[in-house]
Amino acid sequence: MSDSQWTLMIHGGAGMLTRATLTPAQSAGAREALGRALDAGGSVLAGGGGALDAVEAAVRVLEDDPHFNAGRGAVLSYDGAVSLDAAIMDGRDRRAGSVAGVSATRNPVSLARRVMTGSPHVMLSGAGADQFSLEHGLDQAGRDWFVTPERESQLAEMIADPDGWFDVAMKYGTVGAVARDAEGHVAAATSTGGVTGKRWGRIGDSPLIGAGTYADDRGCAVSATGSGEFFIRAGAGHEIAARMRLLGEDVATAARTVMADVAALGGAGGVIVVAPDASAIWDFTTPGMFRGRADSSGARTVAIFGDEG
């Protein structure tokens, strides 16, 4: 039954985000984009819309903004290619859609949703996912839309470094959203360009249901960001939800316990989590995380650094 309460949380990546590593212009631009994403998702929820629509709307805004590593402004693979991953999940019935290694869909999160609603599958990859996108009429974009000079420079610097290996600083990261709507349902969505210089078709946790993206009305909705290999090994999203569902843990305890496990494995990053009771938390083990929260009480927060928000 509707109680009119809603909650939206978003992130734009976790990593070495400090006042020394971000310029004032970068910080201001990221905050403005996070605010627009909260507006997009929040307007859906305030109008009585569902959590699934809200997380897609919020993530689309972040995918279109070059301050983040998703869609426009995504990092480049070792050969200079654009290779995008995304997932979305509905907590009502655990339907999910996911894509990996796509190269031409302007908003990969919407392609992931179309996989969920317009195919019998959960996950599509590469050329097949690109073809599915064309057949279903999703907005396409060329390399000139996705690629920014900054990302080209980052790739060149990494390749020039004989000890370079991936995007170790993770200054920019994955984007995601989780929401609880007025009906008490939750949903999650995540989108990423992966890591700078990725090779051999590498896929991280973002499009993997139960790792970087998960939603279950019996537990919570989770979107993760960080060193994906470790979130995969921890099964982070599902683990948080399972701890809540089976052990009765609250969002803070479940999130912090699983993030401690990720850290113990050697990984770093963050999660945003919201439960059907509207409780919500972000938790991160890095100096900062692009993040924001809005809810039906009118409360609103946009933050980046670890000592704020």
pLDDT in tens, 198-228: 889 999 999 999 999 999 999 999 999 999 9
Q: Is residue 1 part of a domain?
A: no
pLDDT of residue 276: 97
Q: Is residue 57 part of a domain?
A: yes
Kind and range of the H or E run holding 213? strand 213-215
Nearest CA-CA partner of 75 in 84, 63, 64: 84
Residue 174 among the catalytic residues: yes
pLDDT of residue 37: 98
pLDDT of residue 173: 79
Residue 298: other Cβ atoms inside 10 A: 6
The catalytic residue among 105, 117, 148, 174 is 174
C-alpha–C-alpha distance, residues 134 and 118, integer Å:
13
User: How far from chain centre, in Å, is Cα 93?
Assistant: 20
Q: Is residue 234 part of a domain?
A: yes
pLDDT of residue 162: 63
pLDDT of residue 166: 54
Nearest CA-CA partner of 95 in 157, 187, 25: 187
Kind and range of the H or E run holding 190? strand 186-192
C-alpha–C-alpha distance, residues 229 and 23, integer Å:
29
pLDDT of residue 148: 92
Predicted TM-score (pTM) of this structure: 0.95
As to burial, measured by CB atoms within 10 angstroms (0-12 exposed, 13-18 middle, 19+ buried), residue 258 is buried
Number of domains in the chain: 1
pLDDT of residue 196: 87
Q: Is residue 156 part of a domain?
A: yes
Q: Is residue 252 part of a domain?
A: yes
| pLDDT tens sequence for the chain (309 residues) | 567 899 999 999 998 888 988 899 999 999 999 999 999 999 999 999 999 999 999 999 999 999 999 999 999 999 999 999 999 999 999 999 999 999 999 999 999 999 999 999 999 999 999 999 999 999 999 999 999 998 988 888 888 876 655 555 555 579 999 999 999 999 999 999 998 888 899 999 999 999 999 999 999 999 999 999 999 999 999 999 999 999 999 999 999 999 999 999 999 999 999 999 999 999 999 999 999 999 999 999 999 999 986
Give the range of the structural domain holding residue 221, as residue numbers without chain letter.
7-305
As to burial, measured by CB atoms within 10 angstroms (0-12 exposed, 13-18 middle, 19+ buried), residue 54 is buried
Tell me, what CATH number does 275's domain have?
A: 3.60.20.30
Q: Is residue 2 part of a domain?
A: no
Over the stretch 157-180, which tens digit does the pLDDT of each residue have? 888 876 655 555 555 579 999 999
- At 204 the three-state DSSP class reads coil
